[in-house]
Amino acid sequence: MTTREAFLSKIRAAQPASRPRPDVPVFPSPEGGLRERFTAALAPMGGTCIEASSLDEVKAMIASRFGPDAIVASAVPGIEGNRALSADTVPASLEDVDVGVVRARFGVAETGSVWFSEREYVVNAIGYLAQHLVVLLDPAQMVEGLQQVYRRDDFKSARYATLVTGPSATADIEGVLIRGAQGVRSLTVVWLA
């Protein structure tokens, strides 16, 4: 037995017996519709919500807001970017992407967050290296709060999961709020079934 194996064997032998997790109750939700609560929670975090009735409207919004020369990487079928995005894409190759387009699996009304796994992002770096993130969200795919998120099967089965609430921000230097300091500069949630 190697030293490493002996060490790990001793750690395994010293583990306490497992016990069931406590049952956390689902707390009552505040008044108001999920969509309205989501929008109200996202706004102070620097994110915005807009309406769209089709993918063509989303494409037009991207073109008008970010210009015809914007580098767009899309993980949404029906919205073609000018930068290929596939499971084989090298994450560092997304360093110059202006706009990342993704569809959230669901939204969280309590926090104004959108949930992604490796399936939605395709390449995890799209959510961090793009300058602007455009997120499509089906209004029917909303949950009340974080307690419901942790109970979902897709949360338990994802290899990678993240909740995103607004653009990147920091206020640690003299208390001045700076958006886009370590990640996306803007996050736009598009309500689209």
| pLDDT tens-digit readout, 38-71 | 999 999 999 999 999 999 999 999 999 999 999 9
Residue 182 inside a domain? The answer is: yes
The model's pTM? 0.84
In the chain, the number of structural domains is 1
Residue 40 inside a domain? The answer is: yes
Spatial contact of 78 and 55, defined as CB atoms under 8 Å apart: yes
Range of the domain at 58: 32-191
Q: What burial class does residue 185 get, using C-beta atoms within 10 Å of its C-beta: 0-12 exposed, 13-18 middle, 19+ buried?
A: middle
Residue 99 inside a domain? The answer is: yes
Residue range 69-86: average pLDDT? 95
Whichever domain contains 61, its CATH number is: 3.40.50.10420
In the prediction, which pLDDT does 175 show?
79
Residue 14 inside a domain? The answer is: no
